[in-house]
Amino acid sequence: MRNILYASDLERGSRVVLRAALEQAASTDGKIFFLHVSDQFHRGNDDSFVGFKLKKAHDAHLESLKDELRAYMKQRIHNFVAEELSDIEFNEDSIEVVVRFGDPAKKIVDTIKDVDASMVVMGDRRVNALSRMFLGSTAQKVIHNTTVPVLIVPISNTVVSKKEGDGNGI
């Protein structure tokens, strides 16, 4: 696996998913693309942003948010590696942080193509199969819209990392 895309929501319990992605990368000398998608600030094709100055200001704001998220994520990755990866030899330089805005499933599929990922690792927080069937999930949408293998790591509220107090996820 040359390039592994790790899609994270940065929430509690996600450390177990990052560990799975890093173990995959370490076993194949692969590179991790650590992706976080936020749908909160996406302008999309909204015609209300018709003014050039307004669009330019909005785009600059989005880039500033991306920079802040990248810095935050890099610090979280550094802490995670220092706290939990003494048993895996992994170089932090093998992780590239990617931040996108929009629909998470669509952006994950787009990023798979952009980084030429050979595998995707992501968590799934759905409680049971019934909730997945009626509500759908980002993981299911990704599985149905890509041709690369997708490793789904179940996340529950009871997941505990080696380090006590995994309150922030990764």
Condensed to tens digits (0 to 9), the pLDDT of residues 23-64 reads: 888 888 889 999 999 876 545 555 555 566 777 787 788 888
Return the C-alpha torsion angle 91, 95, 116, 30, nearest 10.
20
* C-alpha span between 13 and 113 (Å, rounded): 27
**Bridge partners of residue 54, in order along the sequence:** none
Under 8 Å CB-to-CB from 23, ≥6 apart: which residues? 88
Please calculate the CA angle 39-11-29 and round it to the nearest 5 degrees.
95
Dihedral sign, CA of 77, 39, 128, 143? negative
What CA–CA distance (Å, rounded) separates 121 from 63? Answer: 26
Q: How far apart are CA 89 and CA 23, in angstroms?
A: 9
Is pLDDT larger for residue 16 or for residue 88? 16
The pLDDT confidence band at residue 112, using thresholds 50, 70 and 90, is very high
pLDDT at 48: 55
> What's the chain's average pLDDT?
80
Bigger pLDDT: 72 vs 33: 33
Q: What is the pLDDT of residue 129?
A: 65
Paired residues of 98 in beta bridges: 35
- Class assignment of domain 4-153? alpha beta
Least confident of 4-13, 32-41, 109-118: 32-41
Q: Is 64 exposed, middle or buried (0-12, 13-18, 19+ CB in 10 A)?
A: exposed
Higher pLDDT, 82 or 40: 82
